[in-house]
Structure 1
Amino acid sequence: MKHSLYLLLLIITVFGCKTPEARTPVSVKSGSTIDASIERNKALNKKETEAIKAIINAQPENKYQTSGNGFWYYYNTKAEIETKVTPKFGDIVKYTYNVKSLKGQSIYTKEELKIQNYAMDQQELFSGLREGLKLMQAGETVTFIFPSHKAYGYYGDEDRIGTSVPIICEVSVHSITKKE
């Protein structure tokens, strides 16, 4: 009896310690949805870039620059003395801005948006504006053209800016308070 109990425990131990096996999927999905999404986004980006370049070409008096972050900008007012003091992580940037469509129609005015205080990289802000502020010094005004993926993207702002809408923003930095 004692031997059968040991034998039973040995059998349970051997078969009970089996490692779990991965289950195979019931159905296999192809990458066709992802591929279609990639193609749609490429086409949208190409269309937006063409529209933006048409605006830039129509304004030769403005010396547009291309950022390394995928948007275009020019200085309306450049700092008289280049201090090279641009905002870094945690600095407080006091600024105003407006938002327009590519056709120049006002979406949000500076008066509606009021003066903003932004803790650099510590608060929510659409990626284009966040990256644009990093290029600016106090006292400067810059006009940015953001493609939709650098602006409000696929969702818009759920108010006045729709799905995949590129925008123009005129931004003025009033002050930069360094983080202590």
Structure 2
Amino acid sequence: MRILSLLILILFAVGCKSPEARRPVSQNSGSYIDESVEKNKEMIAKEEDYIKKQMGKDTDTEFLTSADGFWYYYNKKSTDTLNTKTPEFGDVVVFDYSISSIEGEPIYAEGEKPTREYAIDKEKLFTGLRQGLKLMKEGETVTFLFPSHKAFGYYGDKNKIGSNVPITTKVTLHSIKEESNEPNN
């Protein structure tokens, strides 16, 4: 009986031991991620250099640099001094756009994409165009030059635009409708 009590006491003591964390079988240093980051930085730098070289060939155009990492120029700029409104979060904009390669070869010609209605930052749209629309006023036409990470990135558009392709996008903003703060009935 004494042995049984001693055995129960030992099992109880061992059973109440707190669990120990298991060590991983292998540990990664994160070098793969570091290599990937460096590779992407190099790719972006090459794309940006190429875009700048293409812009340098067009000496008649005044290119502007956005704070978001792309370039643009006005095909048609608003001269109306009362027209100062640019789209903000939630505003609904109506626009047309076409997409070309950086060299100017059409990918989606004018009229090939339907007129688009878009609620700013509330719907899906590729990053560069989403940021570019916020720079525009009603009635303006702007051409944007986007590096691939601002366009369709690694995946492309799964149709005509391949992986890591910088693009030129010509956009005409037809209207801006301010977001309504009224509750829907």
1:24 matched residue in structure 2: 23
Q: What is the TM-score normalised by the length of structure 2?
A: 0.87
CA distance in structure 2 between the aligned counterparts of 1:75 and 1:16, rounded to whole angstroms: 75
CA shift for structure 1 position 39 = 2.0
Q: For residue 38 of structure 2, give the secondary structure of its aligned residue in structure 1.
A: helix
CA distance in structure 2 between the aligned counterparts of 1:62 and 1:18, rounded to whole angstroms: 75
CA distance in structure 1 between the aligned counterparts of 2:104 and 2:110, rounded to whole angstroms: 14
RMSD: 2.1
CA distance in structure 1 between the aligned counterparts of 2:132 and 2:70, rounded to whole angstroms: 9
CA distance in structure 2 between the aligned counterparts of 1:158 and 1:78, rounded to whole angstroms: 33
Q: Deviations over 1:135-162 (max 9, x none)?
A: 0010001000000000000000111100
Q: What is the TM-score normalised by the length of structure 1?
A: 0.89
For residue 89 of structure 1, what is the amino acid of its counterpart? F
Query: Is 1:169 the counterpart of 2:169 in the alignment?
Result: yes
CA distance in structure 2 between the aligned counterparts of 1:68 and 1:178, rounded to whole angstroms: 24
1:73 matched residue in structure 2: 72
For residue 159 of structure 1, what is the amino acid of its counterpart? N
CA shift for structure 1 position 18 = 4.5
**CA distance 1:28–1:142, change in 2 (3 Å):** same
Unaligned runs of 5+ in 2: 181-185
Query: Is 1:87 the counterpart of 2:124 in the alignment?
Result: no
Question: What are the within-5 Å matches in structure 2 for residues 26-175 of structure 1?
Answer: 26-82=25-81, 83-175=83-175
CA distance in structure 1 between the aligned counterparts of 2:158 and 2:115, rounded to whole angstroms: 21
Question: What are the within-5 Å matches in structure 2 for residues 5-16 of structure 1?
Answer: 12=12
For residue 122 of structure 1, what is the amino acid of its counterpart? K
Q: Deviations over 1:39-76 (max 9, x none)?
A: 21122111101111011111122111111101000111
CA shift for structure 1 position 167 = 0.1
Q: Deviations over 1:73-123 (max 9, x none)?
A: 011111112432111111110000000011111001231101000011111
CA distance in structure 2 between the aligned counterparts of 1:148 and 1:178, rounded to whole angstroms: 30
Q: For residue 139 of structure 2, give the secondary structure of its aligned residue in structure 1.
A: coil
Unaligned runs of 5+ in 1: none
For residue 116 of structure 2, what is the amino acid of its counterpart? Q
Q: For residue 130 of structure 2, give the secondary structure of its aligned residue in structure 1.
A: helix
CA distance in structure 2 between the aligned counterparts of 1:31 and 1:16, rounded to whole angstroms: 38
For residue 64 of structure 1, what is the amino acid of its counterpart? F
**CA distance 1:15–1:54, change in 2 (3 Å):** same
